[in-house]
Amino acid sequence: MARSFWRSSNYLEWLLDRQDVMIHRANDLKILGSEEEYQKVMLFFTDVIQAFGKSVEVRQQVIATALVYFKRFYSRNSFKTIDPWLMAPSCLFLASKVEDCSLVVFHPYRPLVQFCDELRPQMHEYADVLLERAW
């Protein structure tokens, strides 16, 4: 770890200015149309990660770490790179391991199937897409 924040990897790699962020988001903004729509998509997946985290009963600290991972990944990558429906549970699983959470995954798709069953009344097509891509 660097002795100075200004020489640390956090400062050098993850503090992006507005121009860098807009360069990396250019492909997504072509599809979504505006920054406002991009923020709506990010907010939607923030809610998805929170709901999924609550359904598997992990601590809020784990959910917050998963959100940071998700946002950092998509700050440098397009939504077309990796499907966000697969990235969201992956970030939560990684965060649970990093935060030394005792989340034991006997069958990795069981919580996902439960989550999709709860999601189905509101967003039927998204639940089906998520399950199709997860298997």
Q: What is the pLDDT of residue 48?
A: 93
DSSP string, 8-69: SHIIIII---HHHHHHHTHHHHHHH-SHHHHHHHHHHHHHHHHHHHHHTT--HHHHHHHHHH
Give the count of alpha carbons within 13 A of 122, CB side only: 5
Cα end-to-end distance, the chain, whole Å: 39
Domain segments of the chain: what residues? 16-101
User: Which CATH entry fits the domain spanning 16-101: 3.20.20.140, 1.10.472.10, 3.30.450.40, 3.40.630.10?
Assistant: 1.10.472.10
Q: What is the pLDDT of residue 44?
A: 93
Q: What mean pLDDT, rounded, does the chain reach?
A: 79
Alpha carbon of 89 to those of 31, 66, 77: distances in Å?
24, 9, 17
Alpha carbon of 38 to those of 34, 58, 127: distances in Å?
6, 27, 21
Tell which wins on pLDDT, 97 or 4: 97
Q: Confidence class of residue 106 from pLDDT cuts 50, 70 and 90?
A: low
Q: What is the reported pTM?
A: 0.63
Tens digits of residue pLDDT in 21-56? 666 667 776 777 777 887 888 899 999 999 999 988
Q: What is the pLDDT of residue 53?
A: 92
Stretch 52-73: mean pLDDT: 90
Res 67 pLDDT > 90: yes
